[in-house]
Amino acid sequence: MKKGFIALLTLVMLSSCQEQTKIGFVDNSKLINEYQKKKDIEAKFQVEIDAFNKKVDSIGQSFQAQAAEMQAADPKMVQKSSQEKYQALAQQYQRFQQQFQMEEQQIQSKSQAQIDTLIKDVRAFVKNYGEKNGYSYILGSNEAGSVMYGEESKDLTKDILEALNAEVKKD
């Protein structure tokens, strides 16, 4: 009986001496999508996209007006010169479309590069947050189910989001 008590006491002392593992999790989608810096990036690029779309629409309307003029001047496109002008206009419009596609891809690439940088910054911030606050692990929750369940008290999404957005306000 005395040996059993000593073994139990030793086990209790060992378990109390061991470091507590502190674990939390964040909702990755919510953290990124509600991060003010991401909203700012999206707003900036939306302005650029809107300006791009206006330019495309304006040039498209100009080409349509020119085509309508040609059609009105020679409704059946009987004259060879009318056909040649129309073909030249069509080729010019194709070149503009190719240019527009390249510009659109550049906008998307710049946007994606900034979002990728933002995600790296968020990861670094979460790592730093974990170190400062004594977490052994901070897990990421997403649609794929890396965290299938977590106690609400362990959900750090709101705390980290507030800290991230506070950093943006400092800048």
Q: Domain extents for the chain?
A: 21-169
Q: Global pTM?
A: 0.71
Can you read off the two tokens belonging to residue 92? 């010019």
H/E element, 8: helix 2-17
Can you read off the two tokens belonging to residue 161? 């989001």
Can you read off the two tokens belonging to residue 153? 């008290």
Per residue of the chain (171 residues), give pLDDT as tens.
Answer: 555 545 444 444 445 545 578 899 999 999 999 999 999 999 999 999 999 999 999 988 988 888 888 888 877 766 777 778 888 888 998 999 999 999 999 999 999 999 999 999 999 999 999 999 999 889 988 877 677 567 788 899 999 999 999 988 887
What confidence score (pLDDT) does residue 9 get?
Answer: 43
d(CA 45, CA 161) in angstroms, rounded, equals: 22
What confidence score (pLDDT) does residue 73 get?
Answer: 80
**Vertex 49, ends 93 and 162: CA angle to 5°?**
165
What confidence score (pLDDT) does residue 11 get?
Answer: 44
21-169: CATH class? alpha beta
What confidence score (pLDDT) does residue 121 get?
Answer: 94
Instruction: Give the bridge partners for 141, in sequence order.
Output: 27
d(CA 70, CA 76) in angstroms, rounded, equals: 10
Which residues have a Cβ under 8 Å from the Cβ of 76 and sit 6 or more positions away?
none
What confidence score (pLDDT) does residue 167 get?
Answer: 87
Taking alpha carbons only, the member of 132, 164, 167 closest to residue 26 is 164
